[in-house]
C-alpha cells in the first residue's frame, strides 16, 4: 500500500515568491559551487583518462572500465558514506572530501608524468571514492539549508549545476586529450594538464569552506568495518518505508538509463553517424544541457510544491525519446555531407529532449527522498539509495557490454531497448501517481490559462487533516483549487455532477465525496461522515460553504452544516478566498456563463487565512473570508492604473461613442471628451494656473462642463476642490482659506443664478473657451485620436503620479460644526470605482443618470469618476429635484443606473412617466434610511427594487451596499436584504466596537461601526487632531451605531452623535424621529405637493437633546405648528410601544417656525442643538 504522502503527490509549502530568496543564501550558493567544481573535475579527469585508455585497452573496454571503476566505490562505500553523513556534520564531510580530492589530483600529476595508464585507472577509482563519500553529505545538506518549500527548485538548481559541470568536463576531457595528442605527443609531455586539475580541486576546497550545515544528526553512531554488514540494515531501513523505496528505485533507474545513454552515445556517434572522437564530444553536451534545462524547468514548474505528478510524464517522455533515437539510428543516412549533417542535428535534438524530459522524472523523486527521510537517519537512507543507484549503474554497464559485445546489437538498437525497458516504469508510475499526475496536469493547464499567485501557503499543515473552505464564483474554482492545493484534497460536491460520463471518471480518481440533498438527511449525514473520516485519516477536505456558484461574485450565506464536518476532530478550518476568477469565462459576470470576454493569463490570487479551531458558528467563518476578500481587493487596487490613466484608456476605447451628456443638450464622445480635456488643460497650464498653486477650486454643477473642469485638473496634476455652492458665503470663504485656494473655475451663467462674493480669483469657462486656439484644438485632437494611449500617458506625466497623492478635497456638510476638508487620494477614489464595477458588472450599454453634485463624495466618485473610468455613459442634470428633466434625460439616454436619496426617488416616482425609467435596473439610494413604503412604491411603479447603500465622505465614500437579487431557472440568490445597508463593498472590512471601551463585539450585537480599506481618506486638511480622533490604526470611526450579522450584512440604527445617554441607557434620536414622523402623517397628513418640482422636501420635526441634572440628558422635539392638540400626539406616542425612557415629556416639545437645515437640505444638527439649548434656557 502507498502511504498518504505518496498518494497525495505533493508536499505543502509557503508563499510562492518568498521561498525563492532561500536559494540565494550564501551557504546554499557555496554548496552549488562546490558541487560544480567536484563534478567538473570528476568528469574532466575521467574523460581525459578514458580516451587514453582506449589507446591501450580498446574502445569498449576503456569505456566499461572507466565507468565501472568510477561507479564501484559508490556501491562499496555507501554504508561508510551514510555513516559519515550521520555521524559528523555534513559540512565537515564535504570539506574533508574536497581536501582528499587535492591529494588524488596530486597523484594524477605523477601518474601522467610516469605514463602509467593503470595507475590512472586506479585514480579514477579514487575520484569515484571521493565522490561516493561526498554524495550523501551533499544531498543531506540540501534540506538542512533549504526549507521544504524550496526543495524542488533547489534540487533543480543542483541538477542543473551538476549536469553543466559534467557536460563541460566531458567536453573538455575529450578536447584536451586531442589537443595534447594531436601530433606525436606522449604522456610524458602531457603532465601540465593535471596541474590545472589540481588547481580546480584546491578552488573547490576553498569554496566548500563557505557551506554551513547543522551539527551531527547522530553523534553516537558507531562505524562498522564490514561494508556488507552495514549495507544490509541501511537497505532494510530504506525498504521498510515503501514510498521511500519506490523513490530510491526510481532514482536508481534514472541513473541506470543515464549511464547507459552516456556510454551508448559514444558508440552511436562513431558507428551510426560516422563521427570522429572530437565530433562525438559535441553529442554528450546536448544530453546534459537538456538535463540542465529540464532541471530548472522542473523546479520552476513545481514552484512551491514537490510535484510527484511529473513522474509519469517524465517516464513517458524518456520512453518515447529513447525509442525515437533508436528509430533515427535505424534510418540514418550518412552517404552525403548534407544527410550526415541532418542526421547529426536530429540526434542532437532528440538527445536534448531526452535530457529535458528526464528531469521531470528525477527532480521530484530526489526532492521527495530528501524531504521524507527522517533527519536522524537521512544519511543512512541517502547512502542506501546511493548504493541502490550504483548497483543499477553496474547493471547498466553489464547490460551495455552484453548487448554490444555479446549480442552485437547496434547502438540504435540499444536506445530502442532502453525505451522498451522504460515502458513498465511508465505503467507503474501512472498506477502509483494517477491522482498526482491529474493534479499536475490541472496545474499546468490553469497556470497556462491564468497567472496564479499563492498567498499564505505556509499556514497549511504539512500532515494531518484540514478542512478547506473557499469562496465560489466560477465553474473552475474546484479544478484550480485541486491543481494548486499543496497536497491531495477530497472535494465535497453534488452527487449529480459525479454521475456524468467524463466527470464520473475524474470523481473516482480524486475520490470526491458525493453530496445528495435530494436523497434526504441520511445521504447528507453520510457525506459528512465520509468527510469527517477523511479528516481523521489525515487528509485534506474541501467544501464550498455557499453551496452554489455566486452569480454576482459576492459572498453568500454559508450552510450551517459545514462545521459538522470537523465535529469530533481536532482538524483546523482554513478560510480561503480566490480572487480573479470572477469575470472569467467560467463565471456568471455580465449576465451569464461564458458571456465575459476571455483574457489570456488572467491573474488569479489564492489567499489562505489563519487556521480556525473550535469554530462555533458559520458567521465567524464567513467573517474570516470577508477579511481575506478585503485584503485581496486592497492588493489588486495597487496593481490597477490610477483613474486619470483609466480615463484616457476609456476615452480611447470609445472614440466615436457617446461618453457623457447633460440636460443642456451637450453630448461628447470619448474622443471629444479627451480632446476637450486636453485643450482645456493646455489653456489652464499656459495662461491660468500658477505652478506654485496645488489646490484649485471649482464652482460647477454636475454637467459636461463640470466633468471637463475636473478631468482637466486631474490631467494637470492639480488637486480639485469642488465647492459646495449651497453653503453661505461665510462658510465658503472659510473653505477657500482653509484649502489656500486662490483660483476658482466657474462660469458667468452659474454665478448669475448663484451670485457669490468671495475673496478669490474667478476663472470663467466662457473666457477659457475663447482662449483655446486652433493650434490647441489640432494638437489636442491629434493627441486624443492618434497618439497611442501609453505614449499619451507618459507625455502627460501620468505614469509618475503617486497613487497615494491627493486627487481632490471634499468638504463635509458641516452639520456638526465647521466643514472639514477631506483629502482623498487617487487610490481612495480608484478603490471605490473598482468596488462598484466589481459589484454591479457595468457594461457599455448602461447609462448612469448623474444628479448628485460633484461637491458631494457620491457625486464626485460614482456619478463622475465611475463613468470616466468604466464603460457606461454618464448623463447629468444640475438639479436633482427637477423630476421632469431627470425623466426626460433618462428616457433620451436609456438611463439604467440611478443614484439618489429616498427623498429624490419619491419625487421621481410621483412625477415622472414610468416609461421614462423603463431601462432602469439599478437604483441605489443612500444618505437617508430607505422606507419600506418607498421600496414597495418603486416596485409597483417601475418593477425595480431600490437597494440601499451607505457611505461617508471620509470613505471616498462607499462603505457598503446591497445588490439586486439574482433570479434564474435554478432559483433566487438573495443579495438585497431590506432593512440593511448591505455587505461591505469589495476592499472594505467592517467591525463593531463598544462605544466606550472600543472592544470588538460579537456578531448581531449593536455597537460603533468601524471600517477599513484602501478607501479610507488621507486625513482632514490642516486638522491632524481631528484626523486622529476618527482614524485609529487605519480604521475609520464612522460614528454610526449598527450591527453586523453572520452573513456580513450591516444594519444601522443611528449615529453616535444622535444618541443620548439617559439614565445609563443609549437612546437613539433617529428612531424617536421616525415614530413621531409616522404619527404626524397619520394625525395631520402633509399638504399636497407643490407645483414647484424643484422645491426642497418639507421637514416637520427634529429630535435633539439638552443637559439634564437628574438623568444626564433629556430629549427635545423641535416641531413646526402641528395643526392639532399636542396632547393627541403625546397620547399616540405613549401607545406606540417605545420604551418609557425614550418618550419626551410634555415640556420636551417646542414649536418653531422652521427646522434648521443646511444648504444641501440636510438637517443642521449643530443648528438644531443650539436652537434647542436657547429655547430651553429662555
> Does 220 have pLDDT greater than 70?
no
> Does 820 have pLDDT greater than 70?
yes
Residues whose CB is less than 8 angstroms from the CB of residue 665 and which lie 6 or more positions away in sequence, other chains included: none
**Mean pLDDT of the region 654-671:** 93
Q: Which residue has the cell 547522530?
A: 218
Q: What is the DSSP letter of 517?
A: G
Q: Which residue has the cell 522498451?
A: 420
User: Which grid cell sits at 1175?
Assistant: 429655547
Number of domains forming the structure of the chain: 4
Residue 1060 three-state SS: strand
Say what the pLDDT of residue 14 is.
Answer: 38
Buried b (16+ CB within 10 A) or exposed e, 377-406: bbbbbbbbbbbbbbbbbbebbebbbebbee
User: Closest Cα partner for 6 from 234, 240, 246?
Assistant: 246
> Does 1050 have pLDDT greater than 90?
yes
Beta strands in 456-522 (DSSP E): 466-470, 489-494, 513-515
Q: Yes or no: say if 472 and 549 are a contact pair by the CB < 8 Å rule.
A: yes
**Mean pLDDT of the region 890-917:** 90
> Does 889 have pLDDT greater than 90?
yes
The CATH code of the domain that includes 832 is 3.40.50.12780
The reply to whether 514 and 647 lie within a common domain is no
At 198, is the pLDDT very low, low, confident or very high (cuts 50, 70, 90)? confident
User: Which grid cell sits at 1070?
Assistant: 433617529
User: Which grid cell sits at 1103?
Assistant: 429630535
3-state SS string for 816-858: CCCCCEEEEEHHHHHHHHHHHHHHHCCCCCCEEEECCCCCCHH
The reply to whether 395 and 531 lie within a common domain is no
**Mean pLDDT of the region 242-263:** 87
User: Does the residue 505 lie in any domain?
Assistant: yes
Instruction: Single out the residue in 947, 974, 993 at which a domain terminates.
Output: 993
The reply to whether 128 and 81 lie within a common domain is yes
User: Does the residue 1028 lie in any domain?
Assistant: no
The reply to whether 893 and 814 lie within a common domain is yes
The reply to whether 343 and 465 lie within a common domain is no
Q: Yes or no: say if 537 and 465 are a contact pair by the CB < 8 Å rule.
A: yes
User: Does the residue 1003 lie in any domain?
Assistant: no
The reply to whether 181 and 220 lie within a common domain is yes
Q: How far apart are CA 344 and CA 1075, in angstroms?
A: 94
Q: Yes or no: say if 825 and 1016 are a contact pair by the CB < 8 Å rule.
A: no
The reply to whether 658 and 613 lie within a common domain is no
Instruction: Single out the residue in 432, 464, 481 at which a domain terminates.
Output: 432
Percent of the chain with pLDDT over 90: 31
The reply to whether 549 and 695 lie within a common domain is no
Phi, psi of 825 (to 5 degrees): -85, 170
Say what the pLDDT of residue 226 is.
Answer: 55
Query: For residue 765, what is the enclosing H or E element?
Result: helix 765-771
User: Closest Cα partner for 420 from 271, 318, 348?
Assistant: 318
Per-residue pLDDT tens over the stretch 264-308: 887 787 777 777 666 776 777 788 788 878 877 877 777 666 778
Instruction: Single out the residue in 604, 637, 670 at which a domain terminates.
Output: 637
Residues whose CB is less than 8 angstroms from the CB of residue 1026 and which lie 6 or more positions away in sequence, other chains included: 820, 1020
More confident residue, 226 or 425: 425
User: Does the residue 901 lie in any domain?
Assistant: yes
- The secondary structure of 249-261 as a DSSP string is HHHHHHHHHHHHH
- Count of C-beta atoms within a 10 Å radius of residue 871: 16
Per-residue pLDDT tens over the stretch 436-490: 888 788 878 887 888 888 888 778 887 888 999 999 999 888 888 887 887 888 8
Residues paired with 984 in a beta bridge: 960
**Mean pLDDT of the region 584-597:** 76
At 184, is the pLDDT very low, low, confident or very high (cuts 50, 70, 90)? very low
User: Does the residue 323 lie in any domain?
Assistant: yes
Beta strands in 1135-1175 (DSSP E): 1149-1151
CA 1094 vs CA 563, 755, 857, 880, 881: distances in Å: 55, 19, 22, 8, 5
Per-residue pLDDT tens over the stretch 926-950: 877 888 888 999 999 999 999 999 9
> Does 255 have pLDDT greater than 60?
yes
- Count of C-beta atoms within a 10 Å radius of residue 690: 10
Buried b (16+ CB within 10 A) or exposed e, 64-96: bbbbbbbbbbbbbbbbbbbbbbbbbbbbbbbbb
Per-residue pLDDT tens over the stretch 117-163: 777 778 788 887 887 787 777 777 777 777 766 766 777 777 778 77
Instruction: Report the chain's mean pLDDT, rounded to a whole number.
Output: 83
Say what the pLDDT of residue 717 is.
Answer: 93
Residue 812 three-state SS: coil
Say what the pLDDT of residue 185 is.
Answer: 46
Residue 1064 falls in which region: left (phi positive, over 0), alpha (psi -120 to 50) or beta: left
Residues whose CB is less than 8 angstroms from the CB of residue 1178 and which lie 6 or more positions away in sequence, other chains included: none
Q: Which residue has the cell 558514506?
A: 81
- The secondary structure of 401-433 as a DSSP string is HIIIIIS---HHHHHHHHHHHHHHHHHHHHHHS
User: Which grid cell sits at 586?
Assistant: 467560467
Residues whose CB is less than 8 angstroms from the CB of residue 240 and which lie 6 or more positions away in sequence, other chains included: none
CA 615 vs CA 564, 577, 819, 990: distances in Å: 10, 18, 45, 20
Q: How far apart are CA 702 and CA 855, in angstroms?
A: 9
> Does 666 have pLDDT greater than 70?
yes
**Mean pLDDT of the region 93-117:** 78
- The secondary structure of 891-959 as a DSSP string is HHTT--EEEE-HHHHHHHHHHS-GGGGTT--EEEE-SS---HHHHHHHHHHHS---EEEEE-GGGSSEE
**Mean pLDDT of the region 1159-1173:** 76
Using CA of residue 764, residue 766, residue 771, residue 777, what is the dihedral sign?
positive
Per-residue pLDDT tens over the stretch 700-723: 999 999 999 999 999 999 999 999
User: Does the residue 92 lie in any domain?
Assistant: yes
Residues whose CB is less than 8 angstroms from the CB of residue 522 and which lie 6 or more positions away in sequence, other chains included: none
Range of the domain at 47: 11-432
The reply to whether 724 and 592 lie within a common domain is no
Q: Which residue has the cell 461574485?
A: 553
The reply to whether 381 and 498 lie within a common domain is no
**Mean pLDDT of the region 862-882:** 93
Taking the alpha carbons at both ends of the chain, their separation in whole angstroms is 93
At 191, is the pLDDT very low, low, confident or very high (cuts 50, 70, 90)? low
Q: Which parts of 537-572 fold into alpha helices (H)?
A: none
> Does 62 have pLDDT greater than 70?
no
Phi, psi of 44 (to 5 degrees): -60, -45
618: preceding bond cis by omega (within 30 degrees) = no
Phi, psi of 121 (to 5 degrees): -65, -35
At 13, is the pLDDT very low, low, confident or very high (cuts 50, 70, 90)? very low
User: Does the residue 282 lie in any domain?
Assistant: yes
Residue 614 falls in which region: left (phi positive, over 0), alpha (psi -120 to 50) or beta: left
**Mean pLDDT of the region 372-383:** 72
User: Closest Cα partner for 938 from 949, 961, 958, 922?
Assistant: 922
Say what the pLDDT of residue 178 is.
Answer: 60
Q: How far apart are CA 204 and CA 816, in angstroms?
A: 76
The CATH code of the domain that includes 489 is 3.40.1130.10
Q: How far apart are CA 367 and CA 363, in angstroms?
A: 6
More confident residue, 194 or 748: 748
The reply to whether 482 and 552 lie within a common domain is yes
- Count of C-beta atoms within a 10 Å radius of residue 1024: 10
Q: Is 762 exposed, middle or buried (0-12, 13-18, 19+ CB in 10 A)?
A: middle
The reply to whether 931 and 982 lie within a common domain is yes
CA 503 vs CA 499, 945, 1020: distances in Å: 7, 39, 57
User: Does the residue 945 lie in any domain?
Assistant: yes
Amino acid at each position: 500500500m502507498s502511504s498518504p504522502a505518496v498518494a497525495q503527490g505533493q508536499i505543502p509549502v509557503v508563499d510562492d515568491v518568498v521561498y525563492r530568496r532561500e536559494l540565494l543564501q550564501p551557504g546554499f550558493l557555496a554548496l552549488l559551487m562546490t558541487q560544480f567544481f567536484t563534478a567538473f573535475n570528476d568528469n574532466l579527469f575521467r574523460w581525459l583518462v578514458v580516451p587514453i585508455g582506449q589507446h591501450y585497452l580498446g574502445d569498449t573496454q576503456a569505456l566499461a572500465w572507466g565507468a565501472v571503476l568510477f561507479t564501484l566505490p559508490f556501491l562499496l562505500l555507501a554504508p561508510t558514506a551514510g555513516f559519515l553523513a550521520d555521524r559528523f556534520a555534513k559540512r565537515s564531510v564535504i570539506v574533508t572530501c574536497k581536501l582528499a580530492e587535492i591529494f588524488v589530483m596530486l597523484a594524477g600529476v605523477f601518474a601522467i608524468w610516469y605514463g602509467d595508464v593503470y595507475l590512472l585507472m586506479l585514480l579514477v577509482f579514487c575520484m569515484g571514492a571521493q565522490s561516493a563519500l561526498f554524495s550523501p553529505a551533499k544531498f543531506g545538506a540540501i534540506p538542512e539549508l533549504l526549507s521544504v518549500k524550496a526543495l524542488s527548485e533547489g534540487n533543480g538548481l543542483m541538477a542543473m549545476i551538476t549536469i553543466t559541470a559534467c557536460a563541460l568536463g566531458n567536453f573538455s576531457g575529450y578536447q584536451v586529450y586531442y589537443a595534447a595528442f594531436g601530433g606525436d605527443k606522449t604522456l610524458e609531455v602531457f603532465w601540465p594538464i593535471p596541474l590545472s586539475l589540481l588547481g580546480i580541486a584546491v578552488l573547490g576546497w576553498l569554496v566548500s569552506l563557505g557551506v554551513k550545515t547543522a551539527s551531527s544528526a547522530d553523534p553516537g553512531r558507531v562505524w562498522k568495518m564490514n561494508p556488507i554488514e552495514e549495507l544490509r540494515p541501511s537497505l532494510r531501513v530504506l525498504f521498510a518505508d515503501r514510498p521511500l523505496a519506490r523513490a530510491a528505485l526510481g532514482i536508481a533507474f534514472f541513473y541506470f538509463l543515464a549511464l547507459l545513454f552516456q556510454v551508448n552515445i559514444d558508440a552511436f556517434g562513431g558507428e551510426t553517424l560516422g563521427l570522429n572522437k572530437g565530433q562525438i564530444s559535441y553529442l554528450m553536451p546536448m544530453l546534459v544541457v537538456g538535463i540542465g534545462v529540464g532541471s530548472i524547468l522542473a523546479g520552476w514548474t513545481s514552484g512551491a510544491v514537490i510535484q510527484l505528478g511529473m513522474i509519469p510524464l517524465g517516464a513517458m517522455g524518456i520512453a518515447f525519446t529513447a525509442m525515437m533515437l533508436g528509430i533515427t539510428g535505424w534510418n540514418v543516412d550518412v552517404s552525403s555531407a548534407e544527410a550526415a549533417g541532418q542526421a547529426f542535428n536530429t540526434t542532437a535534438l532528440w538527445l536534448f529532449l531526452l535530457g529535458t524530459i528526464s528531469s521531470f522524472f528525477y527532480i521530484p523523486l530526489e526532492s521527495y527522498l530528501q524531504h521524507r527521510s527522517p533527519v536522524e537517519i537521512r544519511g543512512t537512507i541517502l547512502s542506501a539509495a546511493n548504493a541502490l543507484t550504483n548497483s543499477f549503474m553496474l547493471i547498466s554497464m553489464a547490460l551495455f557490454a552484453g548487448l554490444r559485445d555479446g549480442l552485437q546489437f547496434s547502438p540504435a538498437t540499444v536506445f530502442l531497448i532502453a525505451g522498451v525497458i522504460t515502458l513498465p516504469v511508465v505503467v507503474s508510475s501512472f498506477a502509483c501517481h494517477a491522482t498526482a499526475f491529474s493534479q499536475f496536469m490541472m496545474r499546468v493547464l490553469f497556470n497556462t490559462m491564468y497567472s496564479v499567485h499563492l498567498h499564505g501557503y505556509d499556514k497549511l499543515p504539512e500532515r494531518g487533516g484540514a478542512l478547506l473552505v473557499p469562496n465560489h464564483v466560477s465553474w473552475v474554482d474546484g479544478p484550480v483549487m485541486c491543481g494548486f492545493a499543496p497536497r491531495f484534497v477530497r472535494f465535497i460536491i453534488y452527487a449529480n455532477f459525479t454521475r456524468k460520463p467524463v466527470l464520473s471518471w475524474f470523481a473516482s480518481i480524486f475520490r470526491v465525496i458525493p453530496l445528495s440533498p435530494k436523497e434526504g438527511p441520511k445521504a447528507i449525514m453520510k457525506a459528512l461522515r465520509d468527510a469527517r473520516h477523511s479528516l481523521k485519516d489525515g487528509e485534506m477536505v474541501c467544501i464550498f460553504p455557499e453551496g452554489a456558484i455566486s452569480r454576482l461574485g459576492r459572498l453568500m450565506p454559508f450552510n450551517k452544516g459545514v462545521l459538522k464536518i470537523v465535529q469530533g476532530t481536532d482538524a483546523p478550518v482554513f478560510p480561503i478566498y480566490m480572487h480573479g476568477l470572477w469575470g472569467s469565462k467560467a463565471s456568471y459576470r455580465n449576465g451569464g456563463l461564458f458571456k465575459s470576454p476571455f483574457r489570456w493569463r488572467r491573474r488569479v490570487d489564492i489567499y489562505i487565512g489563519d487556521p480556525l479551531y473550535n469554530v462555533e458558528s458559520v458567521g465567524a467563518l464567513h467573517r474570516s473570508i470577508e477579511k481575506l476578500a478585503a485584503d485581496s481587493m486592497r492588493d489588486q487596487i495597487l496593481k490597477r492604473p490610477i483613474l486619470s490613466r483609466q480615463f484616457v484608456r476609456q476615452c480611447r476605447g470609445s472614440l466615436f461613442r457617446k461618453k457623457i451628456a447633460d440636460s443642456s443638450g451637450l453630448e461628447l464622445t470619448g474622443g471629444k471628451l479627451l480632446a476637450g480635456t486636453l485643450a482645456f488643460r493646455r489653456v489652464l497650464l499656459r495662461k491660468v494656473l500658477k505652478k506654485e498653486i496645488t489646490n484649485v477650486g471649482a464652482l460647477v454643477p454636475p454637467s459636461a462642463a463640470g466633468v471637463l473642469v475636473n478631468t482637466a485638473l486631474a490631467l494637470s496634476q492639480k488637486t480639485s476642490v469642488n465647492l459646495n455652492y449651497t453653503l453661505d458665503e461665510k462658510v465658503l470663504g472659510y473653505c477657500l482659506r482653509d484649502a489656500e485656494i486662490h483660483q476658482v473655475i466657474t462660469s458667468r451663467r452659474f454665478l448669475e443664478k448663484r451670485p457669490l462674493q468671495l475673496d478669490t480669483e474667478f476663472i470663467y469657462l466662457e473666457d477659457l473657451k475663447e482662449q483655446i486656439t486652433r493650434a490647441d484644438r489640432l494638437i489636442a485632437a491629434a493627441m486624443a485620436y492618434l497618439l497611442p494611449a501609453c505614449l499619451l500617458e507618459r507625455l502627460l506625466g501620468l505614469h509618475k503620479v503617486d497613487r497615494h497623492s491627493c486627487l481632490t478635497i471634499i468638504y463635509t456638510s458641516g452639520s456638526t460644526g465647521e466643514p472639514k476638508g477631506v483629502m482623498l487620494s487617487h487610490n481612495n477614489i480608484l478603490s471605490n470605482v473598482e468596488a462598484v464595477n466589481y459589484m454591479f458588472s457595468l457594461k457599455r450599454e448602461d447609462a448612469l443618470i448623474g444628479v448628485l453634485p460633484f461637491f458631494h463624495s457620491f457625486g464626485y466618485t460614482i456619478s463622475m469618476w465611475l463613468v470616466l473610468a468604466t464603460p457606461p455613459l454618464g448623463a447629468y442634470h444640475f438639479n436633482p429635484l427637477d423630476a421632469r428633466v431627470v425623466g426626460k434625460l433618462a428616457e433620451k439616454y436609456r438611463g439604467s443606473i440611478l443614484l439618489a436619496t429616498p427623498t429624490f426617488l419619491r419625487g421621481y416616482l410621483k412625477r415622472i412617466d414610468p416609461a421614462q425609467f423603463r431601462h432602469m435596473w439599478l437604483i441605489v439610494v443612500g444618505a437617508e434610511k430607505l422606507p419600506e413604503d418607498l421600496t414597495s412604491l418603486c416596485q409597483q411603479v417601475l418593477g425595480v427594487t431600490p437597494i440601499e447603500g451607505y457611505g461617508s465622505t471620509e470613505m471616498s465614500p462607499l462603505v457598503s451596499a446591497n445588490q439586486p437579487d439574482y433570479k434564474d431557472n435554478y432559483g433566487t440568490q438573495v443579495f438585497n436584504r431590506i432593512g440593511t445597508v448591505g455587505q461591505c463593498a469589495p476592499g472594505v472590512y467592517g467591525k463593531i466596537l463598544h462605544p466606550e471601551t472600543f472592544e470588538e463585539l460579537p456578531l448581531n450585537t449593536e455597537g460603533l461601526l468601524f471600517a477599513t480599506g484602501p478607501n479610507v481618506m488621507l486625513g482632514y486638511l490642516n486638522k491632524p487632531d481631528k484626523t486622529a480622533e476618527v482614524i485609529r490604526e487605519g480604521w475609520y470611526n464612522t460614528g454610526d451605531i449598527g450591527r453586523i450579522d453572520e452573513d456580513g450584512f450591516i444594519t444601522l440604527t443611528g449615529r453616535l452623535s444622535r444618541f443620548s445617554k439617559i439614565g445609563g441607557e443609549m437612546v437613539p434620536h433617529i428612531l424617536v424621529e421616525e415614530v413621531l414622523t409616522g404619527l404626524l402623517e397619520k394625525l395631520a397628513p402633509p399638504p399636497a405637493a407643490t407645483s414647484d418640482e424643484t422645491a426642497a422636501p418639507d421637514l416637520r420635526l427634529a429630535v435633539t437633546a439638552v443637559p439634564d441634572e437628574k438623568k444626564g440628558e433629556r430629549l427635545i422635539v423641535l416641531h413646526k405648528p402641528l395643526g392639532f392638540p399636542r396632547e393627541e400626539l403625546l397620547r399616540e406616542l405613549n401607545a406606540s410601544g417605545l420604551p418609557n425612557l425614550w418618550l419626551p415629556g410634555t415640556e420636551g416639545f417646542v414649536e418653531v417656525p422652521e427646522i434648521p437645515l443646511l444648504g444641501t437640505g440636510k438637517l443642521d444638527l449643530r443648528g438644531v442643538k443650539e436652537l434647542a439649548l436657547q429655547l430651553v434656557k429662555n
